[in-house]
Homo-oligomer: A and B are copies of this chain.
């Protein structure tokens, strides 16, 4: 197990998860000794927990290609192999994102008709939540890639959120005469002509409103949008803290407002949103934030569980088959592209 904290947060997360979900089993992959050190006596006889020793670890800054070639017995690789072999239904890792994506793609392969996997996560919004992809796996995306992301994101939301017809938006900017770049405009054409519930272009602020269920963009734009958002949230938290600490009076008012401020903090707690799915693979792989504590990592485990139970992979595979037929017909016959 990787991430910044390793078994120190993963093992307690596993125990919390099993405490709530009685009929699940977990295979803890990593250095056996290190894992045992965090397992309380009571848990050692729990038949739902299995330890699978892996002798290596992928460093958080290690080059993905190096990890992939050089570390055949890393906890990451062993965990993904378990999914490939059908021993596990999903893999959850707090390790190096690039290495996780490269290894998962190499071992599991992408689904038929999917060129590239994408990273998707739920984001809090004024009305519920929004799912956004890609968040950094693909820096340059063609219109077809963006279309594939839309199909996968839509089906994920349909599966795990029980939304009958998820509203899909394509991220764009409003300033230009002919909006967006070539890829985005071509993806728009594909989406307009598809049977997805495509609502059209959305802008950066729409992510946090919640009038669409899925926001599609390339991984460069998606990653910057997400990181910028995190930056603003931290800035606001810091500024509020500073102001409440400024004078005796403001300190007192801060103490009195503590229940409200704490409730708010819990509501936007990023741990409650921890767990991004690597979508488009022949298996479920969830990326937890590297700095995840037990609460956050448990949430990532729940997301994996949810995707297993809702049979996300099979559903996406079927939907991709349906929709990519549409797209291919469109791309073949230019006269059929609607505006």
Interface size class of A (residues with CB under 8 A): 35 or more
Q: How far is the CB of A308 from chain B (nearest CB, A)?
A: 25
Instruction: Give the complex CA separation of A132 and B140 in angstroms.
Output: 22
1/0 contact string of A200-217 vs chain B (CB within 8 Å): 000111111100000001
Residues in chain B near residue A139, CB distance under 8 A? 173, 176, 180-181
Contact of A224 among B65, B204, B219, B244 (CB under 8 A): B204
Which residues on B sit within 8 Å (CB–CB) of A137? 175-176
User: Given the interface contacts A64-B177, A243-B263, does A228 sit within 8 Å of B207 by beta carbon?
Assistant: yes
Copy count, this protein chain: 2
* Contact status B250-A260, CB under 8 Å: yes
Residues of B within 8 Å of A246, CB to CB, are 260
Chain A interface helix/strand/loop/mixed: helix
- The answer to whether A233 touches B231 (Cβ under 8 A) is no
Cβ of A44 within 8 Å of any chain B Cβ, yes or no, is: no
Give the complex CA separation of A224 and B249 in angstroms: 39
**Which 6 A-B pairs have CB atoms at the shortest separation, nearest pair first?**
A204-B227, A205-B231, A136-B175, A208-B231, A204-B228, A173-B223
Q: Would you list 24 pairs from A and B whose C-beta atoms are within 8 A, ordered by A residue?
A: A65-B177, A101-B175, A125-B235, A135-B175, A136-B175, A171-B224, A173-B227, A175-B223, A204-B224, A204-B227, A204-B228, A204-B230, A205-B227, A205-B231, A207-B231, A224-B224, A226-B228, A228-B228, A228-B229, A229-B229, A240-B260, A243-B267, A244-B260, A253-B259
